[in-house]
Chains A and B, each alone.
Chain A
Amino acid sequence: MDGVADARAAFDAFSRRVGLADTARWRFHVALDEILSNVVRHGFGPGRASALAGDAAIELVFGVEDGVILIEVTDPATPFNPLEAPPPDTTSAIESRVPGGLGIALVTSLMDDVQYERRADRNHVIMKWRVRDVASAGTDR
Chain B
Amino acid sequence: MTIEEVEDRGVVVIAPAGRVDSTTSDELDRRLRAVLDRKAPRVVVDLAQVEYISSAGLRVLLALAKRMREQKGALALASLGDAVRQVFELAGFLPLFTVAATRADAVAVTSAS
Q: A residues within 8 Å of B by Cβ?
A: 1, 4-5, 26-27, 29-30, 33-34, 36-37, 88-91, 94-95, 97, 99, 102-103, 105-106, 109-110
B interface, CB within 8 angstroms of A: 19, 21-23, 51-56, 58-59, 62, 65-66, 69, 83, 86-87, 90-92, 96
CB distance from B81 to the nearest CB of A (A): 9
Which of A1, A4, A5, A88 is in CB contact (< 8 Å) with B91?
A88
State how many angstroms separate the Cβ of A111 from the closest Cβ of chain B.
12
CA distance A97 to B22 in the complex (A): 20
CB distance from B103 to the nearest CB of A (A): 22
Given A30-B52, A103-B55: A1 touches B22 (CB 8 Å cut-off): yes
Closest 9 pairs (CB-CB, A-B) = A90-B92, A103-B55, A26-B52, A102-B55, A37-B22, A33-B21, A33-B54, A26-B83, A99-B59
Q: How far is the CA of A30 from the CA of B53 in the complex (A)?
A: 7
Q: Are B52 and A34 in contact (CB under 8 A)?
A: no
A102 to B59, CA, bound (A): 9
Considering the complex, give the chain B residue whose CB is closest to the CB of A90: B92
Collect the chain A residues with CB atoms within 8 Å of residue B22's CB.
Answer: 1, 4, 33, 36-37
Contacts of B54 in A (CB 8 A): 29-30, 33-34, 103, 106
Main SS of chain A's interface residues?
helix
- What's the least CB distance linking B28 to chain A, in Å? 14
Which residues of A sit under 8 angstroms from B91, Cβ to Cβ?
A: 88, 90, 102, 105-106
Residues of B within 8 A of A102 (CB): 55, 58-59, 91
Separation of A89 and B65 alpha carbons in the complex (Å)? 16
B residues near A29, Cβ cutoff 8 Å? 19, 21, 51-52, 54
20 A-B pairs whose Cβ atoms sit less than 8 Å apart in the complex = A4-B22, A26-B51, A26-B52, A27-B52, A33-B54, A33-B56, A34-B55, A36-B22, A37-B22, A37-B56, A88-B91, A90-B91, A91-B92, A97-B96, A99-B58, A102-B58, A102-B59, A105-B90, A105-B91, A110-B90
